[in-house]
Amino acid sequence: MSLITRFLAIAFLSLPSAVLLAANSWDNYAPNTDYQSAWACNGTERFFWYCEEEAGTDEDVSKPAKPKSKEEQAVEELNRIRKELDAKRALAVVNPTPDNVKAYMAAQKVEIERADLFADVWRRVLWQNAELNFELKHPMNNSAIRVADKSRDERQVKTMTELAREWGIFFFFRGDCAYCKHMIPTLQWLTRQYDMTILPISLDGGSIEGLPPSVPDNGLSRQLGVEVVPLFVLGNVKTHKMVIIGSGVLSLQDFVDRIYVLTQTKPGETL
């Protein structure tokens, strides 16, 4: 026992018995003192943290769970079905006994029938609700496709003819580029069919036959970030607006489609 501990013990034992008795009785304290209330357990006094936690009230009891929606119930059911089917498939693959394979086949047959029913209801709803019919904008059957193609071609021809009045094509190339030379017939056709002006721009000072005389690059390629050739860019002679059509080998239809889409439609609109 340390000296401090002995001192405290001796000091405590040397106190008069009356003092010790008074220390154990709340009745001996003068009225209106806060000693007793300081130990109360109502949560407001200085030593409330010392008290044991009281039992919770009815308000503390958790509220009953909110009923699940039909969608949530359907998600749980679908997950259950998938897990059961995956489990039967796994067992059939790992241990392919006749019974295990048969059980998986039977479960799969049920799902195929369920999918068939869904597909049948889907098409019935689609037939009866025109606003849900994607084929009105993007036809699938051959007859409707021919009608849509004809209408689109007519719009494209009209658009190309009108665009040629104010727009031309910048053709970036290099003299040793085989793909650039391969594009000459297509560019010639655009000029003949729509009177579209073609301006060849040489990046290496080389020339290319079959088109109007080329001009050296004046820094435009750097502004447009040209890294590969051939590269084709639409340019408006009035507004100086420029629209990159694409790079590499493009077909005639690629040119017509891209020019029409980039100048006449917004993202998400059908041709």
| Strand order through the sheet with 167-173 | 215-216, 197-202, 167-173, 231-236, 242-247
The pLDDT assigned to 145 comes to: 61
- C-alpha separations of 45 from 82, 134, 203 in Å: 59, 72, 87
Q: How confident is the model at residue 9 (pLDDT cuts 50, 70, 90)?
A: very low
Q: What is the mean pLDDT of residues 123-128?
A: 87
pLDDT tops 50 at residue 171: yes
Cα distance between residue 132 and residue 130, in whole Å: 5
240 vs 147: which has the higher pLDDT? 240
Greater confidence, 219 or 27? 219
Look at residues 157, 144, 117 and name the one whose alpha carbon lies nearest to residue 264.
Answer: 157
* pLDDT value, residue 177: 92
Q: Where are the domains of the chain?
A: 80-125, 144-264
Q: Is the pLDDT of residue 8 over 90?
A: no
Task: Please return the burial class of 202, using the count of CB atoms within 10 Å of its CB with bins 0-12, 13-18 and 19+.
Answer: buried
Phi/psi at 143 (5° precision): -60, -50
What is the per-residue pLDDT for 22?
A: 43
Mean pLDDT confidence for 99-118: 95
Q: Which CATH class is domain 144-264?
A: alpha beta
pLDDT at 5 over 50: no
Which tens digits make up the pLDDT trace of 145-168?
666 667 777 777 788 888 888 999
Q: Which of 12-16, 30-34, 89-93 is the most confident on average?
A: 89-93
pLDDT at 17: 47
Question: What's the pLDDT at 130?
Answer: 80
Percent of the chain's residues with pLDDT above 70 = 71
pLDDT at 47 over 60: no
| Model confidence at 107: pLDDT above 90 | yes
Alpha-carbon dihedral 267, 268, 269, 271, rounded to 10 degrees: 90
Query: Which pLDDT does position 50 carry in this prediction?
Result: 53
Would you say residue 121 has pLDDT above 90?
yes
CA nearest neighbour of 217 among 230, 234, 204 = 204
Q: How confident is the model at residue 183 (pLDDT cuts 50, 70, 90)?
A: very high
Q: Contact, 50 vs 39, CB < 8 A? A: yes
Supply the pLDDT for residue 270: 58
Stronger pLDDT, 201 or 126, i.e. the higher one = 201
- Look up residue 1 and give its two tokens: 């026992």
Query: Residue 95: how many CB atoms within 10 A of its CB?
Result: 10
For 186-234, the pLDDT digits (tens) are: 999 999 988 899 999 999 988 888 988 999 999 999 999 998 999 999 9
Question: 86-90, 183-187, 190-194: lowest mean pLDDT where?
Answer: 190-194
